[in-house]
Structure 1
Amino acid sequence: MWCTSCALAVEGALARLPGVVQASVHYPTATVWVNGTPASTQLAALAPVVTRLGYRLSELEPVHDAQQRLAKESRYLSLRLIVGAVLGMWTMLASLLIYAGALPNAAIELVVAWVAGAFSLPVVLYSGLPFYRAGWRTLLAQRPGMDVLVSLGVLGAMVVSVGLLLRGSSEVYFDTAVMLIVLLLVGRLVETLCRQRGLKAFDALRLPEADVVVCQGGQRDTQPVGEVAIGAVIEVPPGEQVPLDGLLDTPGWLDTATLTGESVPRYLHAGQRVYAGCRYAARLNAAPLKVIVTATVGQRRMDKLCEQMRRAQAKKGELHKLADRFASWLSPVALLLAVLTLPLGLLMGLGLEDAAVRALSVLVVACPCAVGLAVPLASLAGTSQALQQGIALRDPSAFETLANVRGIAFDKTGTLTRGQHQVVNAALRQSEDLTQFRAMLSSAVSQSEHPLASGLRDWASTVETAAPSNVLHNVQHIEEHPGKGQQVTFQNAEQWWLGSAVWIEQQLGAPLPDSAHQPDNAFASQVVVADSHGWLATLYCADQPVSDATASLAELKRSGYIVALISGDRQGPVGWLGQQVGLANNACYAQRSPEAKAALLKALPSPTLYVGDGVNDTLSLAEAGVGVVPMQASDAAREGAAAQLLRPGVSGVVCLLSLAKRTRRVMMQNLVFSALYNTLALGLVIIMAVPPLAAVLAMAASSFSVTLNAARLAWSEPSKTSDIPAPDPNAPHSTSPTAGQSLPTV
C-alpha cells in the first residue's frame, strides 16, 4: 500500500463484502483485520477483491519478510526521490530565475519556462507514477483520498502551465508539480523508515532457527527446528538458547535475560516448563540440557505473542477511527470545493488563469495525509517503545484507555509476590543447636516437592551454617502424608515429623507448647517440626514481594492512582504483604472469589487496570478497562490480557502507564494539528489567492510535522535505568490511604 488512502480503499472494498461485519486495515503494518462469517473471512474470498484494486492480499507475513518488504519500498522510494530531486532542481532553478526577474527579456524567459517544463516531465511521469496508480485504485474502490488530490494537483499544474506556454506566458507552475511530488516522496520515505523502526521492535521476539539435536531411541539425530514434533526430546548445548517450548527432562540453570532482562539465572527442576528463548546457563563442558517438546515452531509462546500483537495492530482505537472518518470526508469535500472554485472564481470576475490557479491550490492544500497518519504512526511508535521496555502490548488501542486509567488493582500471589515462600522467622526449642538443626532440616526436605520445601531448603542451606556433607545426607527413610506432613527417619534412627500443627499434635498425642505459637507471625504459613522428645521448632514461611513492588506502588500512588490489592488468600498474608509494599489496610482485600474480585474492580474509579496472573484472575482481566499479566502468568490469563510484562516484577506497569500518556499526547497533538490545518487551509485558499507552491509547502509541512512528532516517540531511546526510585529500607511503610483516595467497601 502506498498511503492511508490505499488502506481506506481496501478497507471499504472488504467491508462491502457479504458476510463481513467489519474490516480494519492498518497502514503502517500493512495488515487487515476482518470480522465476519467463517466463509467470508477466508483468504480465498477476500484476496480477489483486493486484487481487483491492484493490491495483493496474503497470509500474515513473518516479521523478517515484512522488514525486507519495507526495505524494498525504501529503495523504491529512494530511486524515485533521486530522480525527482536531481531533475526537479533544474525546474526549480529555472522557475526561480523567472520569478526573480533575473533574465534579460521575455523571449529568454519563455525559453527558460519551456526548459523548466522539459525537466519536470521525468519527475511527473516517473517519480509521480505511484501517486497516479494509488489514486486510480482508490477511485475504483469508491474511496477517493489523498492520492486523487495529489494526482489532480500535479495534472492541473501541468495543464495550466502548458496552456500558459502556448499563450506565450512564462508564468508557469511546473515547479508546483515537481515540489508536490518531491516533498511527498520525502514524506513517504520518512514514513517507511518509521514503519521499519516499529517492526524492528519485534526482533526482541525472534527465536533461533538453527538445527537441533533430537534424541530418539537412544540415538541422536540432527533436524531443522521447524521439523521437530511434539513429544520429541531435544538437546540444548551449554550457552545456547532453547529453540522450542517444552518440559525439562533434566534440571539446569536457565538464563532468561534474552527475553525478560532478568540478570540472575534460575534453577529449574525436571518437569518444569521452559520457553523458547531462554539460554542454558551452564559451564561449557556440562552435559546438554534435555527438553521434551510441547510446542513446535509457530506455536511457541513467543510466536503466538508476536502474531497476536501484529494482528491486534490492525484493530483501531477511537482516535484512529475518528481520524479515518475525518480523512474520508475531507477528500470528497476538497474535490467538490475545487470543482466549485473554478466557476465561482469566474463569476467573481477572476480571469481563467487566476480561477484555475485558485482551484489548483484547493486541491493541493486539502491533501489529508497528515490526518491519516496522525494516530497510526503514533500508535506504532508507542507499541515499539513498549516492547523495547519489556512490555508486549497485544492491543495497541488500549493506549487510549491506559492514558485515562484512575484505579489500579493487583492480584497477590505471583503478581506482587514471587510465588516462592521464604522463612521469615523460626522458633526453636531451648538449648537446640541451630547449625545442627539446619543441617538435618536440609536433609529432611531435600527431596520434598511441597510448595514450602524450597523456602525451607534455602533457609537451611545458608553458607554460614552449612554442615559437612557427611551430615547432610543421613536420611534413611521418608514417609509422606499428603496434605498433612512427612515422617523422616535418619540413619542414626532418630525420627522427625514435619507438617501442620494439628497433624503434629496428633502424632505427639499432646498439644504443642505455647512457645510453638507466635501471634505476631500469624500471617505466615507454619511448618512445625517435632522429634521423639516433642516439639522441636516452628518455622514461619511467607511469600515475599517482588523486588520492585514497594517502589512501583509508591510511584503509582504519587501519580494520583488509586491502588488496591485484591486476593483470594487469607487476611493475614494479604495484610502483611500490603504492609510490606506500603498499602493501607483498607486498600487490601482478602478471601475474595473471582466474582468478588470483579465486583471490587467495578467499584474502583474507572477506567480501571487489573494486574493478575492466574486462572482465577481471568474474569477480572476481562472486566477491567485494561488487563495486564506478569511474566509468568498462566495461559488463560494471558489470553484475556491486553498487555504482558516480559520482565520480572511490576515496574513495567508504571512504564506502561507513563508511555500510554506520552503516546496519547502525541496522538492528540497530531490529530488536532492536522485537523486544524486542513480545515483552516481550505477556508484560506477559497477566500484569497494562495500560490500553488505555497500550498504545496504548507501541505508538506503538516505531513512532516505529524510524521516527525511520531518519530520523536519512536526513536527516543528507552531509559537505561528504571525511572522508579529504589526503595529505602529504613523508610516506614505507609499504613494510611493517600490523600484524596477513596476505596470501595464491597
Structure 2
Amino acid sequence: MWCTSCALAVEGTLKRLPGVVEASVHYPTATVWVKGTPKAIQLAALAPSIRRIGYRLTALEGVQDAHARLEKESRYLVLRLIVGAVFGMWTMLASLLIYAGALPTTQLESVMAWISGAFALPVVFYAGLPFYRAGWRTLQAKRPGMDVLVSLGVAGAMLVSVGLLWRGSVEVYFDTAVMLIVLLLVGRLVETLCRQRGLKAFEGLALPSMRVSVWQRDQRITLPAEEVALHAQIEVAPGERIALDGTLETSGWMDTATLTGESVPRFMNPGQRVYAGCRYAAGINARPIRVTVTATVGQRRVDKLCEQMRRAQAKKGELHKLADRFAAWLSPTALLLALLTLPAAMLVGLGWEEAAVRALSVLVVACPCAVGLAVPLASLAGSGQAMQQGVALRDPAALETLANVRAIAFDKTGTLTSGQHRVLHACLRRHTDADVFKRQLFAAVRNSEHPLANALMGWGKGCANQPDYTFRQVIEYPGAGQCIVFADGKQWWLGSADWVIQQLEKRPEQQGLTLPDSAQDPAYRFASHVVVADSRGWLATFYLADQPVADAQATIQQLQMLGYGLAMISGDRQGPVSWLGQQVGLPKQACYAQRSPEAKARLLGALPSPTLYVGDGINDTLCLAAAGAGIAPMQASDAAREGASAQLLTPGVGGVVLLLAIARRTRRVMMQNLAFSAIYNTLALGLVVAMAIPPLVAVLAMAASSLSVTLNAARLAWAETDEFSDSPAPASNAPRYRPPNGGQQHPSA
C-alpha cells in the first residue's frame, strides 16, 4: 500500500464482499483484520477481490519479512526522491529566475520557462508515478482519496502551464507540480522510517534462527530449531540461549532478561517452565542442562506474543475510525469544490487562467494526508514505546480506553503478591535452643517439595552452614506434612495443625492433645500456619504469608496520587486480603475477599467506568473480559494472557503506571494530530476558495501539515522513560473512587 487512501480502498473492497461483517486495515503495519463467516474470510476468498484493484493480499508476514519490505519501500522512495530532487532543483531554479525578473529579455524568460517544463518531465513521469498508480486503484475501489487529488493537482499544474506557454505567457506552474511530488515523497519517506521504528517492538520479540543439540535414541544430533519436534529433549550449553519453550529436566541458573527484564539470574529447578530467549547463565565449566520441548517454533511464547500484537494492530479505536470517516468525505468534497471553483471564479469576472489556478490550489491544499496519518502513527508509536518499557500491547486500540480509565481493580495472589511466602513470626517451646532448632528445621525441609518449604528454609538459613543432620526416614504426606525420623531416633511431625494433632493422637501418651496457648498468636490469625511437634508434643508454630511484589506499594501509592479509584478483589480469605491491603497501602473498605469469578465481575461492574483489571489466573478471565481493558502480569496463565489487552514483560505491577502514562500521552498526541489536521483542511479549503493563494504556497502548506503530524507522532517513539513516569494525572473532572455499597458486602456478590 502506498498511503492511507490505499488502506481505505482495500478496506472498502473487503467490506463489500458477501459474508464479511467487518474489515479494518491498519496502514502503518500493512495488516488487515477481517470478521465474518469462516468461508468468507479465507485468504483464497479475499485475495482475488484485492488483486482486481491492484493490491496483493497474503498471510500475515513474519517480523523480518515486514522489516525487509519496509527497507525495500525506503530504497524505492529514496531513488524516486533523488530523481525528483535533482531534476526538480533545475525546474525551481528556472522558475525562480522568472519570478525574480532576473532575466534581461522576454525571449530568454520564455526559453527558461520551457527549460523549467523540460526538467519537470522526469519528476512528473517517474518520481510521481506511485501517486498516479495509487489514485487509479482507489478510483477502481470507489474510494477516491489523497492520491487522486495529488494526481489531478500535478496534471492540472502541467496542463495549465503548457496552455500558458502556448499562449506566450511565462507565468508557469511546473514548479508547483515538482514541489507537490518532492515534498510528498519526503513526507512518505519520513513516515516509512517511523513505521520501521514502530516495528522495532516486534523485532525485539523475534528470535533469530538457531541450531539446537537434540537427544535422539541416546545420540546427540544438531538440528535447526524449526525442525525440532514436540517433546524432544534438547541440550543447552552454559552461556547459550534456549531456542524453544520447555520444562527443565535439570536445575540451573537462568538469565530471563530478554523476556522479563530481570537483571539478576534466577535459579530454576527441574519441572519449571523456561521460555525461548532465556539464557543458561551457568559458568563455563558447568554441565549442560536438558529441556523437554513443550512448544515448537511458531508456537513459542514469544512467537504468539508477537503474532497477537501484530494481528491486534489492525483493529481500530474510535479516534482512528473518526479520522478515517473524515478523510473519506474530505477527498470527494475537495474534488467537487475544485470543479465548482472553476465556473464560479469565471462567473465573478476572473479570467480562465486565474480561475484554473484557483481550482488547482483547491486540489493541492485539500490532500487529506495528515488526517489519515493522525491516529494510526500515534497508535503505532505508543504501542512501540510501551514495548520498550516492558509492556506488550495485544490490542493497541485499548490505548484509547486506558487513557480514560477511572478505576483499577487488582487480583491478589500472583498479581500483587509474588507467590513466595515468608515467615512473619515464630513461636518456640520454652527452653528450646533456637540455633539448634533452626539447623534441624533447615535440614528437615531442604528436600521438601511443599510450597512453604522455601520460606521455612529461609528462616533457618542463618545456621545452615553448621554441622548437618542426617535422617533415618522422611515420609512426605502431600498437602498435609512430613514425618521425619532423625538418625538418633528423634521424631518430628511438621505440617498443618490439624494433621499434626491427628498424628500425635495416634500415640497413646498424646490422647486428647490440644495446642497450648503459647502455640498461638492472635495477631497472626490471617497467616498460614505450620506446626512442628515431637514426641513431647508441640514444639513450634510458624506464621507465613505470601509477600507483596517489590513494587506493589510504590505502584499503589502512585496510582492513588494520580487520582484513580483502586480496589483489590480476591478469592482468598479475608485475613490475608486485609493484611496485604495494609502492606501495599489500600484501605480496608477497598479490599474484597472470598469472591467467586462471577462475583468479581459483578463487583468490577459496580466501579466507575471505564475500568482496568489486573489479574493473572484462570479465575480472572471473566473480569479481564468484563473490564474496559485488562492487563496480565508477567507470570500470568495462558487464559489470562489471551483475555488481556496488554501483558507485562517485567516482574511486578509497576508497568501498569507506565502503560497508563503512555496511553494518556498517546491519546493526547492523537487528539492534537486529529484536531490540527481537521482544522487545517477545513480552513485551507475555505481560504483557497475565497482568495487567491498561489499553488506553490498551497503545496508547502499541505506538506507542512503532513510532516508536522508525522513528527508529532514520532515524539512518542523517541520519548525517554522518565518522560512517561512524570506524566500528568487523569482529567480533573474524573470523580474520586467510592467503594460500591460503602465497602460492605454487596448482596449480589
Aligned to 1:450: 450
Q: Is 1:501 matched with 2:504?
A: no
Aligned to 1:732: none
Aligned to 2:478: 482
Structure 1 residue 720: Cα displacement: 10
Aligned to 1:14: 14
**Distance in 2 of aligned mates of 1:467 and 1:516:** 28
1:73-110: CA deviation from partner (whole Å, max 9, x where unpaired): 11110111111111111111111111111111221111
Q: Is 1:39 matched with 2:39?
A: yes
Structure 1 residue 39: Cα displacement: 1.2
> Which of 692, 715, 739 is residue 712 of structure 1 equivalent to?
715
Structure 1 residue 602: Cα displacement: 0.8
**Taking structure 2 as the reference length, what is the TM-score of the superposition?**
0.96
**Distance in 1 of aligned mates of 2:384 and 2:154:** 36
Aligned to 1:239: 239
Structure 1 residue 504: Cα displacement: 1.9
> Which of 507, 514, 529 is residue 532 of structure 2 equivalent to?
529
Aligned to 1:316: 316
> Which of 603, 606, 626 is residue 603 of structure 1 equivalent to?
606
**Distance in 1 of aligned mates of 2:702 and 2:478:** 75
1:481-526: CA deviation from partner (whole Å, max 9, x where unpaired): 3332221111111100011112222233310111100111112100
**Distance in 1 of aligned mates of 2:55 and 2:502:** 78
Aligned to 1:647: 650
What does residue range 531-550 of structure 1 map to in structure 2 within 5 Å?
531-550=534-553
Contact 1:154/1:180 (8 A) holds in 2:
yes
1:424-456: CA deviation from partner (whole Å, max 9, x where unpaired): 111111221222111111222122221211211
Contact 1:232/1:293 (8 A) holds in 2:
yes
Contact 2:450/2:479 (8 A) holds in 1:
no
**Distance in 2 of aligned mates of 1:572 and 1:414:** 17
Aligned to 1:733: none
Identity of aligned residues (%): 72
**Distance in 2 of aligned mates of 1:339 and 1:388:** 49
Structure 1 residue 719: Cα displacement: 4.1
Contact 2:530/2:543 (8 A) holds in 1:
yes
Aligned to 2:698: 695
**Distance in 2 of aligned mates of 1:444 and 1:431:** 21
Q: Is 1:741 matched with 2:741?
A: no
1:609-650: CA deviation from partner (whole Å, max 9, x where unpaired): 000000010000000000000000000111100000000000
Aligned to 1:656: 659
Contact 2:662/2:724 (8 A) holds in 1:
no
| Worse-matched range after superposition: 172-181 or 271-280 | 271-280
Structure 1 residue 277: Cα displacement: 1.2
What does residue range 234-633 of structure 1 map to in structure 2 within 5 Å?
234-462=234-462, 465-468=463-466, 470-472=467-469, 474-508=470-504, 509=511, 510-633=513-636
Contact 2:213/2:222 (8 A) holds in 1:
yes
1:221-250: CA deviation from partner (whole Å, max 9, x where unpaired): 111100000010001111111111111111
Q: Counterpart of 2:363 in 1: which secondary structure?
A: helix
Structure 2 CA distance for partners of 1:258 and 1:685, relative to 1, 3 Å: same
Q: Counterpart of 2:485 in 1: which secondary structure?
A: strand
Contact 2:5/2:146 (8 A) holds in 1:
yes
| Worse-matched range after superposition: 176-185 or 96-105 | 96-105
Aligned to 1:665: 668
| Worse-matched range after superposition: 169-178 or 419-428 | 419-428
Amino acid at match of 2:294: T
Aligned to 2:197: 197
Contact 1:208/1:243 (8 A) holds in 2:
no
| Worse-matched range after superposition: 330-339 or 449-458 | 449-458
Amino acid at match of 1:367: C
Contact 1:374/1:674 (8 A) holds in 2:
yes
| Worse-matched range after superposition: 265-274 or 126-135 | 265-274
Q: Counterpart of 2:494 in 1: which secondary structure?
A: strand
Amino acid at match of 1:350: L
Structure 2 CA distance for partners of 1:644 and 1:568, relative to 1, 3 Å: same
**Distance in 1 of aligned mates of 2:129 and 2:477:** 80
Contact 1:435/1:467 (8 A) holds in 2:
no
Aligned to 2:66: 66
1:552-597: CA deviation from partner (whole Å, max 9, x where unpaired): 1100000000111111111111111011101111111111111111
What does residue range 86-165 of structure 1 map to in structure 2 within 5 Å?
86-165=86-165
**Distance in 1 of aligned mates of 2:662 and 2:108:** 59
1:126-154: CA deviation from partner (whole Å, max 9, x where unpaired): 10000000001101111000000000000
1:310-332: CA deviation from partner (whole Å, max 9, x where unpaired): 00000100000000001011101
1:531-567: CA deviation from partner (whole Å, max 9, x where unpaired): 1111111111110000000001100000000111111
1:15-59: CA deviation from partner (whole Å, max 9, x where unpaired): 111111111111000011111111111111111111111111111
Aligned to 1:206: 206
Aligned to 2:507: none
Unaligned runs of 5+ in 2: 505-510, 728-733
**Distance in 1 of aligned mates of 2:263 and 2:438:** 29
**Distance in 1 of aligned mates of 2:659 and 2:479:** 41
Aligned to 1:727: none
**Taking structure 1 as the reference length, what is the TM-score of the superposition?**
0.96
Q: Counterpart of 1:486 in 2: which secondary structure?
A: strand
**Distance in 2 of aligned mates of 1:52 and 1:583:** 60
Amino acid at match of 2:607: L
Aligned to 1:734: none
**Distance in 2 of aligned mates of 1:501 and 1:272:** 30
Q: Counterpart of 1:461 in 2: which secondary structure?
A: helix
Aligned to 1:729: none
> Which of 679, 684, 687 is residue 681 of structure 1 equivalent to?
684
**Distance in 2 of aligned mates of 1:600 and 1:449:** 36
Unaligned runs of 5+ in 1: 725-737
**Distance in 2 of aligned mates of 1:708 and 1:169:** 40
Structure 2 CA distance for partners of 1:682 and 1:720, relative to 1, 3 Å: closer
Residues paired across the two proteins, number = 729
Contact 1:31/1:314 (8 A) holds in 2:
yes
What does residue range 41-60 of structure 1 map to in structure 2 within 5 Å?
41-60=41-60
Structure 1 residue 62: Cα displacement: 0.7
**Distance in 2 of aligned mates of 1:133 and 1:525:** 71
**Distance in 2 of aligned mates of 1:723 and 1:160:** 55
Contact 2:661/2:725 (8 A) holds in 1:
no
Amino acid at match of 1:679: T
Structure 1 residue 476: Cα displacement: 2.0
**Distance in 2 of aligned mates of 1:226 and 1:741:** 51
**Distance in 2 of aligned mates of 1:268 and 1:189:** 47
Contact 2:276/2:301 (8 A) holds in 1:
yes
Structure 1 residue 203: Cα displacement: 2.2
RMSD across aligned positions (CA): 1.4
